[in-house]
A and B are shown apart, each in its own frame.
Chain A
Amino acid sequence: MRVTVKTFATLREAFGGRGVLYLDLPDGSTIRDLLRALGSYGPVDELLEERSNVKILVNGREITYLDGLETRLKDGDAVAFIPPVAGG
């Protein structure tokens, strides 16, 4: 299956600057699996370190209100990583 990953702000920069990545994952993969696969594109460890401040959304819903890192993905899902920003 293929999922779309959208990264914002500092994470957009850390993951190559394009803002959108397409990842092919085995069926039944979770957010945890996705994070592992993302490792070849950018600093996943840093992302996880800031985890409590980074909103992770699947199709617009925050995973905190789904199954957290165990949230299962399906073909066509859109996953977003949104860190806080402070500019003005």
Chain B
Amino acid sequence: METTLARGAHSAAPPLLQVDSVTLAFGGVRALSGVGFGVQPGSITAVIGPNGAGKTSLFNTISGFYRPTGGSIRFKGQDITRIPAPQRARMGLGRSFQNIALFRGMTVLDNIKLGRHAHLKTNVFDALLYMGRARREEAALRRDIEERIIDFLEIDHIRHAPVSALSYGLQKRVEMARALAMQPEILMLDEPVAGMNREETEDMARFILDVRAEWGVTVLMVEHDMGMVMDLSDHVVVLNFGQVIAQGVPAVVQADPEVGRAYLGSGNVDELRAKLRAAAQPAMAGAA
């Protein structure tokens, strides 16, 4: 029987990321209602749920793209709910995107270098002159990226290629590289293996585990591939209709009948409606 002390996680430590009763509404549409969970440092946490459950909205809220209508988000003990997105990136919130958001006007290398932006110091005067501080910083950056990221993700053969010329799988890898360049303490991966074949998925899974082992990075991922979720994660959070309907160790979550119903449907709409209404009551009271 698996205990909640999952492999690799230090549950005695305070959570690296704490999401508390987060509610997100767009006009009349509630994307998230009273979502709450914690991510332990050094763990791999997966957020799963049927399409439209609010997983990407959750990521976007944590990243700072959306401002939640209620609730709070704490990162490294600090309340970041009001902090703008670029600053969150500087604090160590790294991110990859569901529908590859690489910059098509740049090469692979430049895209990866961009990830480091928030940690660099070159200002516009340094940049115009280039000789001196900018050149040194760029050279150091290049060296660091080559040795630690490009080597690690095995993309040295495409470093100067324009990203638009790459295959889907390679683009996803470059996205990961860019996220790593952000020197993240927590790496948020939005569907890292979407659209990949068996081999590519295994490669990516290996990278994720290596990232955790070698870099000490905490991973929070949205994923649909149940195999990957069950094999990799220490903790699973299940979303449906913007609410957390279950969370815990993979085996427990997998066995939870609620989760089964969320994915497969109970066939009884009234029962589902009643269940949701009941679950929404404490959340609404909390958000009020």
Q: Is chain B found bound to chain A in the same assembly? A: no
Give A residues with C-beta under 8 Å from B.
none
Give B residues with C-beta under 8 Å from A.
none
